[in-house]
């Protein structure tokens, strides 16, 4: 039983509680009565002003470590969060920045974070910075924040691979597309800038100042240093890419002016290393200058890009879906050999059309007579491949297309890749609600009809042929480096996958493609290169105009180092429209290896 002694304990407890209350009351007297004026001033005049130190984005370097994208110093203007603002000051700010007062008020109202300044405008011009500085005394709540500006050194250079940055939109914030962003943050909007944003962005720092009513800094609190973003080292080689871009522009101009292809304005070219999937060059035309977006693109410039019927913003290497045309004959041929539906020495007769569907024949009605596989592939005979398509059937064509990677994303480290389409009975039913016919199989066998592929998919297919049947995931980023240049990490990549096609079949494909670039093949001008290059022409039917010219190649044949795919929209035949571009890539590649003398004799407009 608790006794009197314990009752005493309760009295002590009450005394302790009273002492504690006295402490609280004392503290309230101190805060509210003794220091009340000081805190009132703090609440009114204010007080704490936080400024962000924006972390510089990581650099983007080429395969040799040369800078492609860096940052220039710049400024952003922001408004310190306040309980109320001087209307005269807001008015002045609105005039200086040329932002309507209602917009500024709206931003103030919508800003949720309680101490984050309200970012009003980034990438200020130097004149504007000076003007704001001059008026600083009248605008104590206005902050100038140092904000690095993204700088794409070579403008259009590799723009579709690099992408561009811009201010994060409220939609992107709401959707949670980026981690740790606030209004006004700069994020990647396309290309590698987007897909590697979390590495490139870095962590912003901050410092806080206590300011009196007049805007004078009374006290400076510790600074949180920004952490710069990581650098990306690409697989793209500056020299190869630059030479290629220049040549493509020149070549497209030539195609247009010579009358060969008056509408040849769009193209997609990619070069990858078949030994690992590294992308050495990637060009999509037309292009655009990403620096335009960094500075907040003008309406005129935007309209010009947006209204261009050739979609400059699209990276046609991964989003352009084209009928693969005759390059697809590799799939049909592989299916036929794998399923033992044809022998290498078997001769098939081309009488200009296929007897089962007499309306379908060769381009321009050619009659090539008795053909073996090698010759049929080299000369890109259609009738021969109709017959193979007939023998293996559409289901098997679709199956082998899948094995080579068609109809699925290649997994390259860019966002927004298209999957293409593999012709099948189901696809036709889904689109047209019609039954499959033999003519559809014929079309599919030569890469027309329902088949659609991106240039990147074609490059992956060709790599499989060139490297003996290993499918690699193509990639643009070789490694991610720390700001000091040391290694941070190698991006995760799927290991190369052995595809289910025999070496014998791949040998036949290689032989057929080698013959293409030999005397009598469709691209015999490749013989002038110092090493043997194997290729395949293609012509993709285009219902909107002239056909797209397509050329795929790998080389050197003995030990392939490069796979190149080029497509010129509305370029006509592949051998004249796309072939020279591929030729140029190999020429530059062999020149780098010292197999050709340094650039001298002006180029090779062979057709």
Partner 1 sequence: MDLKRILRNLDWWLIGAVLLLMGSGLLLIDSATHSFAVSTGKAWHVERQGIFMVIALLLAAFSLRFDYRILKNYATRLYIANIVLLVAVMVFGISQLGAQRWIQIGSFSFQPSEFAKVFLIICLAAFMEKRIEWLETFRDYLPVFAYILLPFVLVMKQPDLGTSLTFIAILLGMIFVSGFKFNWFAKLGVLFVAMLPAFWMILKDYQKNRIRVFLNPELDPFGSGYHVIQSKIAIGSGGLLGKGWLAGTQSQLNFLPENHTDFIFAVVGEEFGFVGSMFIILLYMIIIWRGITIALNAEDDFGTLLAVGVTSMFMFHIMVNIGMTVGIMPVTGVPLPFLSYGVSSLLTNVMLVAILLNIKLRDRKLQF
- Choosing from 128, 144, 208, 557, the residue that interacts with partner 1 (CB under 8 A) is 208
- Choosing from 20, 356, 487, 494, the residue that interacts with partner 1 (CB under 8 A) is 20
* Residue 36 near partner 1 by CB under 8 A: yes
Closest to partner 1 by CB, 149 vs 206, is 206
Contact 601, 536 (CB under 8 A): no
Dist. CA 467–CA 559, nearest whole Å: 8
- Choosing from 114, 170, 174, 486, the residue that interacts with partner 1 (CB under 8 A) is 114
User: By C-alpha distance, which of 41, 280, 243 is closest to 161?
Assistant: 280
Closest to partner 1 by CB, 47 vs 548, is 47
* Residue 28 near partner 1 by CB under 8 A: yes
Burial of residue 67, with CB atoms counted within 10 A of its CB: 0-12 exposed, 13-18 middle, 19 or more buried: middle
C-alpha dist (Å) from residue 462 to 177, 470, 504: 35, 10, 16
CB of 248 to partner 1, least distance (A): 50
Tokens at 26, concatenated: 């004392």
Closest to partner 1 by CB, 11 vs 544, is 11
CB of 499 to partner 1, least distance (A): 45
* Residue 377 near partner 1 by CB under 8 A: no
User: By C-alpha distance, which of 141, 102, 142, 149 is closest to 122?
Assistant: 149
Site string for partner 1, 73-112 (x = CB under 8 A): --------x-xx---------------------------x
Closest to partner 1 by CB, 31 vs 253, is 31
* Residue 35 near partner 1 by CB under 8 A: yes
Find the helix packing angle between 455-467 and 503-516, rounded to 10°.
110
* Residue 217 near partner 1 by CB under 8 A: no
CB of 9 to partner 1, least distance (A): 5
Dist. CA 507–CA 354, nearest whole Å: 27
* Residue 218 near partner 1 by CB under 8 A: no
C-alpha dist (Å) from residue 367 to 101, 362, 371, 384, 538: 75, 7, 11, 11, 18
- Measured in degrees and rounded to the nearest 5, phi and psi for residue 438 equal -60, -40
Near partner 1 by CB under 8 A, which window of 24-32, 249-257, 258-266, 516-524?
Answer: 24-32
| # chain residues binding partner 1, by CB under 8 A | 46
CB of 109 to partner 1, least distance (A): 9
* Residue 299 near partner 1 by CB under 8 A: no
Which residue in this structure is represented by tokens 């209004």?
183
Helix, coil or strand: residue 392: helix
Q: Which of residues 41-60 bind partner 1 (CB under 8 A)?
A: 42-44, 47-48, 50
* Residue 503 near partner 1 by CB under 8 A: no
Contact 329, 385 (CB under 8 A): yes
Give the N- to C-terminal CA distance of the chain in Å, as an integer.
111
Q: Which residues of this protein are in contact with partner 1, per CB under 8 A?
A: 1-2, 5-7, 9-10, 12-14, 17-18, 20-21, 23-25, 27-29, 31-33, 35-40, 42-44, 47-48, 50, 81, 83-84, 112, 114-115, 206, 208, 221-222, 224
């Amino acid at each position: 039983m608790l006794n009197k002694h314990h009752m005493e304990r309760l009295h002590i407890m009450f005394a302790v509680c009273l002492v504690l209350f006295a402490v609280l009351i004392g503290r309230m007297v101190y805060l509210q009565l003794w220091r009340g004026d000081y805190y009132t001033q703090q609440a009114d005049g204010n007080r704490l002003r936080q400024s962000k130190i924006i972390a510089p984005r990581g650099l983007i370097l080429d395969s040799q470590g040369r800078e492609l994208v860096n940052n220039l110093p710049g400024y952003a203007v922001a408004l310190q969060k306040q309980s109320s603002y001087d209307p005269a000051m807001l008015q002045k700010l609105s005039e200086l920045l040329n932002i309507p007062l209602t917009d500024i008020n709206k931003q103030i109202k919508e800003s949720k974070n309680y101490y984050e300044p309200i970012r009003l405008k980034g990438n200020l011009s130097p004149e504007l910075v000076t003007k704001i500085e001059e008026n600083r005394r009248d605008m104590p709540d206005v902050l100038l924040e140092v904000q690095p500006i993204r700088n794409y050194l070579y403008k259009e250079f590799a723009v579709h691979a690099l992408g561009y940055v811009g201010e994060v939109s409220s939609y992107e914030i709401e959707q949670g597309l980026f981690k740790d962003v606030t209004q006004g943050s700069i994020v990647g909007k396309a290309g590698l800038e987007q897909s590697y944003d979390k590495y490139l962005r870095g962590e912003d720092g901050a410092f806080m100042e206590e300011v009196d009513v007049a805007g004078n800094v009374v006290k400076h609190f510790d600074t949180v240093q920004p952490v710069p973003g990581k650098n990306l080292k690409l697989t793209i080689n500056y020299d190869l890419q630059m030479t290629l871009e220049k040549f493509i522009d020149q070549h497209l101009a030539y195609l247009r002016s010579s009358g060969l292809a008056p509408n040849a304005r769009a193209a997609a070219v990619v070069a990858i290393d078949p030994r690992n999937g590294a992308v050495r060059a990637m060009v999509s035309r037309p292009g655009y200058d990403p620096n335009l977006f960094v500075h907040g693109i003008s309406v005129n410039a935007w309209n010009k890009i947006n209204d261009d019927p050739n979609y400059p913003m699209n990276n046609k290497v991964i989003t352009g879906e084209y009928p693969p045309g005759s390059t697809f004959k590799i799939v049909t041929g592989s299916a036929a050999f794998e399923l033992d539906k044809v022998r290498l020495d078997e001769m098939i007769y081309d009488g200009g059309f296929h007897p089962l569907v007499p309306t379908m024949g060769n381009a321009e009605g050619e009659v090539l007579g008795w053909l073996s596989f090698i010759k049929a592939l080299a000369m890109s005979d259609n009738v021969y491949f109709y017959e193979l398509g007939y023998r293996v059937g559409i289901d098997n064509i679709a199956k082998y297309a899948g094995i080579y990677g068609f109809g699925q994303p290649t997994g390259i480290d860019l966002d927004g890749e298209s999957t293409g389409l593999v012709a099948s009975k189901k696809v036709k039913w889904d689109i047209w609600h019609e039954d499959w016919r033999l003519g559809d199989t014929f079309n599919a066998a030569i890469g027309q009809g329902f088949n659609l592929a991106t240039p990147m998919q074609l490059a992956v297919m060709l790599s499989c042929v060139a490297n003996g049947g290993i499918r690699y995931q193509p990639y643009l980023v070789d490694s991610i480096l720390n700001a000091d240049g040391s290694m941070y990490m190698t991006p995760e990549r799927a290991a190369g996958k052995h595809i289910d096609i025999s070496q014998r079949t791949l040998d036949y494909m290689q032989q057929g493609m080698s013959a293409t670039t030999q005397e009598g093949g469709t691209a015999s001008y490749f013989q002038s290169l110092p090493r043997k290059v194997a290729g395949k022409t293609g012509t993709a039917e285009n219902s909107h105009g002239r056909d797209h010219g397509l050329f795929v190649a790998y080389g050197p044949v003995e030990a392939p180092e490069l796979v190149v795919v080029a497509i010129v929209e509305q370029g006509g035949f592949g051998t004249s429209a796309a072939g020279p571009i591929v030729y140029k890539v190999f020429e530059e590649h062999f020149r780098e290896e010292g197999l050709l003398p340094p650039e001298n004799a002006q180029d090779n407009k062979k057709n």
